[in-house]
Each structure stands twice: as structure tokens, then as C-alpha cells.
Structure 1
Amino acid sequence: MESQQNLSLRLGELLRQHKLVMTTAESCTGGGVSAAITDIAGSSAWFDRAFITYSNEAKMEMLGVQAATLEAYGAVSEPTVKEMVLGALENSRASIGVSISGIAGPGGGTDDKPVGTVCFAWADEKGWLHVSTYQFGGDREQVRQQAVYTAQQVLVEKLLSHSEL
């Protein structure tokens, strides 16, 4: 597995090549993706802003997540992260983004959504949208690290697979 720093460097290079600017909407990672990205010198050329929306109120106020979505599906759900990423794109100058909401632990898990459940949504301004749920193992720090890595890895794979975005 590639190091987090190398992955962030590669993502930055690809965003720059494609002339894309990124945003994040993060819950359980608490800004971990944006921190990994902005650890790279020059990231201001391809990173606009981060929304750290840990509470449901923040998700609704900052990103436009619907109360009905949160009530019906919960914060850790694919419908919620879909609304989060679309809201991040709408409320930024970014052309591509990722959102994350999950249960990092050690508590908070249920039978339906155990600790380590993390939902992601990736989208761009041209209509690409990918939503997925992962089940990560390990403690709180490990779950969060895996989520930060996955958020960037899927974007790298998307940018490598499409010469025209």
C-alpha cells in the first residue's frame, strides 16, 4: 500500500493535470482528508475548502443535507453522504469532491452499522457520482486512517481511468 503522503502527492498531480479543484465534506475523519491534502506544498492550486460537519446540524446548515434524509437513514448512510458531497460542490468553487460519514468507534456501533462502517460519496461538476460503504477493521485511529486513504485512492483511480473529465 502506498504511503498517505505519496497518495496525496499523486492525487494533487492528477488534479493539477486535469485542471480540477477539490473539496471535502467530512464527519468521522474530522478533517483528516483535508489535512492530508494540505500537507502537500502547493495544494492551494487544487484544493478549495473543507467542510467538517460532525453534527447533524452542521450537515444541514453547511451542506444542505435534508432533515428527512438524516431522520430516515441516519448520518452514516449513503443517502446522507450523497447530499453531503453535492452540497460541498454547490457551496464551494470546487469541481470534484468527496464526503465521508462513519462510525470510527470505539462506541456508537449497532448491529446494522457496526464500528468501522464508513460511507463515502465522490462527485464532480459534470455529473459523475459514486457512493459506497466500507467496513474497516481496527481501532478508532485505524478506521479514520483507512477512511482518509480510501477517500483519496478512489479519486486517484477515477482520475487515472478517465483522460477526459
Structure 2
Amino acid sequence: MSSTATELVRLLTVRGETLAVAESLTGGLVAAEITGVPGASKVFRGSVTAYATELKRDLLGVDTALLERQGAVDPQVAAQMAAGVRKALGADWGLATTGVAGPDPQDGKPVGTVFVAADGPFTGRPGSAGGGKVEALRLNGSRAEIRMESVRSVLALLLERLADEQTGNERAQDTERNGGF
């Protein structure tokens, strides 16, 4: 279990928020990383391993035309997977991974092409990091290394979003205390 997963569980617990995960190339590794943290049951709702393209559509609500046009390895697919799992499992935050771990290219995308996404609540508060964010990765290494780096990256993406939101809220509070300056 990583320190990133531990910190993520801690932050979500403090905030009283929940998390769900949609995985493709990582095949359950993100869920395993999160559930390896003691106390994860307070925040982790569950996961969907949608390895097959039609499961992305049927279980996560990814747009059929998008899948037909772009294939499963696409930033919009990752974003829709994160939003879809968040909705399907009733979580505050959704994470998603899709990509090509190898050994062969997929949908015309080379090995190491990965998209990770986070989707969360839009609170309307100053500094709110709600909504969706996708990060494109170009990874090198073995199949196992690409999958593990994808896990690390998607967890770091959400941790960064939560930290940014916290910083934004603190700035807004400072501004209010200082008379708007």
C-alpha cells in the first residue's frame, strides 16, 4: 500500500467524502491499493473493472459513438468512465484508468498510452476543484510497470485535486478575514 493511497483515504475520511473507481488496464489494482489502507471502508464505495469495451458503455455510460469513433483508449472515455462510476456507485469522487499496457498496440494507440481521470463534486466554493480532470500519460517499461505507474498516477491526480481545493478554500477564508484583500 502506498503513502499516496494512505493520504487519500485520510483526506477523504476527514472530508466525509466517498470514492469509486472504474478500471480498465489496471484490472483492479487501483481498488486493491485503496482497500489495502486500514479504514478504507469509511470512504471506498467500490469499483468496476470494465476491461471489455462494451462494459464501459453498458455499466459506466460511456458514449457509444465516442467508443466507435475513438476506441476505448481516449481522454474523453477516461472522463466519462470516472463520471459514470461516480454516478453508478453513488460516490462523491470517481477515478478511472484506460490505456494500453501491452504487449501490443490497441485501437491504433501505442503501448504506454494511458489516460487517468478524476471526477468530483462541483461545490461552487472559491477554489473548488470539482468537475472532471483527465491526465494523459506516455509511459515506458514492462506491462507490469505501466500498470503500476497508472495506479500511482490516478491516485496522485485525485490527491492533487483535493489538495488544490483545500488550498483554494484556505485562500478564500484568508481573503474574507482580510476584508476581501
TM-score (norm 2): 0.84
Contact kept in structure 2, 1:73 and 1:79, CA below 8 Å: no
Inter-partner Cα distance in structure 1 for 2:32 and 2:120: 21
| SS of match in other structure, 2:101 | coil
Higher mean displacement: 123-132 or 56-65: 123-132
Q: Which residue of 2 aligns with 1:115?
A: 111
Taking the TM superposition and a 5 Å limit, the aligned residue runs for 1:11-160 are 11-109=8-106, 113-126=109-122, 127-160=130-163
Relative contact order, higher structure (CA 8 A, sep 6+): 1
Aligned Cα RMSD in Å? 1.4
Instruction: Report the CA distance shift for 1:109/1:70 in structure 2 as closer, same or farther (over 3 A).
Output: closer
Contact kept in structure 1, 2:104 and 2:110, CA below 8 Å: no
* Identity score, percent: 32
Out of 3, 6, 13, the position equivalent to 1:9 is 6
* 2:132 partner amino acid: L
* 1:23 partner amino acid: A
Higher mean displacement: 125-134 or 24-33: 125-134
Inter-partner Cα distance in structure 1 for 2:66 and 2:148: 27
TM-score (norm 1): 0.92
Inter-partner Cα distance in structure 2 for 1:107 and 1:136: 14
* 1:125 partner amino acid: P
| SS of match in other structure, 2:94 | strand
Inter-partner Cα distance in structure 2 for 1:97 and 1:62: 14
Greater Rg over alpha carbons, structure: 2
